[in-house]
Amino acid sequence: MLAKRIIPCLDVRDGRVVKGTRFVDIRDAGDPVERASFYNSEGADELVFLDITASVEGRRAIVDVVRKTAEVVFIPLTVGGGIDSTDFMDELLQSGADKVSLNTAALKRPALISEGAQRFGNQCIVIAIDACRIKDKPDTEELRWEVYTHGGRTPTGRDAVEWAVEAEKLGAGEILLTSMDADGTQDGYDLDLLAAVTGAVKIPVIASGGAGTLKHMYEALTAGNAHAVLAASILHYGTFRIAEIKDYLSEKGLPVRPVEHQE
């Protein structure tokens, strides 16, 4: 059985791990290579580095972080944040990343998805979608979500479900779907958003934003039909260990990769 994946997300700024709440209020959470090794030994199924560095010089640091991490961590590594060319994708992949996650640049120029997919394969291209509920709508209208870019600061006017479908057509291999409403709240994933996107695409969807309890993760993987859950705060601050999460999901009947001991 294909296992449901637990994926710690490390937000990296200027080479350090940080975690924001609702995309602001940044707090320091440590050295990325150390944190990556820790989660690897804890039984993480993959890791995501999201580079939230603003400066171009600072952005070079992520290449170094990837390179050092890939020397000691032998699970899949996804890197996102500011990737706007296939050459930069190539540099990250050559440094040891397995997938790159595109967001703002892909919305500006969707052909970047197909260019990346053709050069590196669909499996390398993850599309990160930051979606926010459209609240001021008539009661009769169905739920809709708008895509935001630039770390959740800029509304695009695009519908999140439609963008997911287009990204899949262009060659995306996975979707990393973040609910901006839920992110950092620990109140649970936006299950309506998840169900809407997983119902519209065939490619795997990673649920992100809002994990506070084990039940939240279970719901994202069942009601939300996600293939994987991304988690940051509840792991970084030790609320749960990955083994606890996997034990819980396993008891509930979901397939998970057992936590192995490193040799």
Residues of this chain that interact with another protein (CB under 8 A) are 1-3, 5, 40, 45, 67, 70-71, 74-76, 93-96, 98, 118-124, 173-174, 202-204, 227-228, 257-258, 260-263
Residue type, position 80, single letter: G
Residues 6+ apart with CB under 8 A from 152: 22, 23, 130, 132, 180, 183
Considering the complex, state which of residue 180 and residue 256 has its C-beta at the smaller distance from another protein. Answer: 256
Q: What is the DSSP letter of 93?
A: H
The minimum distance between CB 41 and another protein, in angstroms, equals 9
Whether 90 is a known active-site residue: answer: no
The minimum distance between CB 237 and another protein, in angstroms, equals 24
Whether 51 is a known active-site residue: answer: no
228-231 and 174-179: which strand pairing? unpaired
Considering the complex, state which of residue 67 and residue 158 has its C-beta at the smaller distance from another protein. Answer: 67
The minimum distance between CB 193 and another protein, in angstroms, equals 19
Residues 6+ apart with CB under 8 A from 147: 107, 129, 130, 131, 155, 156, 158, 159, 160, 163
Where is 228: in which H helix or E strand? strand 228-231
Considering the complex, state which of residue 120 and residue 148 has its C-beta at the smaller distance from another protein. Answer: 120
Q: Which of 45, 51, 98, 130 is catalytic?
A: 130
Q: Of 45, 4, 3, 47, which Cα lies nearest the Cα of 221?
A: 4
The minimum distance between CB 22 and another protein, in angstroms, equals 29
Considering the complex, state which of residue 142 and residue 260 has its C-beta at the smaller distance from another protein. Answer: 260
Q: Are 7 and 42 in contact (CB under 8 A)?
A: no
Q: Which of 11, 51, 98, 190 is catalytic?
A: 11
The minimum distance between CB 93 and another protein, in angstroms, equals 6
Separation between Cα atoms, residue 185 and residue 43, nearest integer Å: 25
Considering the complex, state which of residue 168 and residue 190 has its C-beta at the smaller distance from another protein. Answer: 168
145-149 and 228-231: which strand pairing? unpaired
Catalytic sites, residue numbers: 11, 130
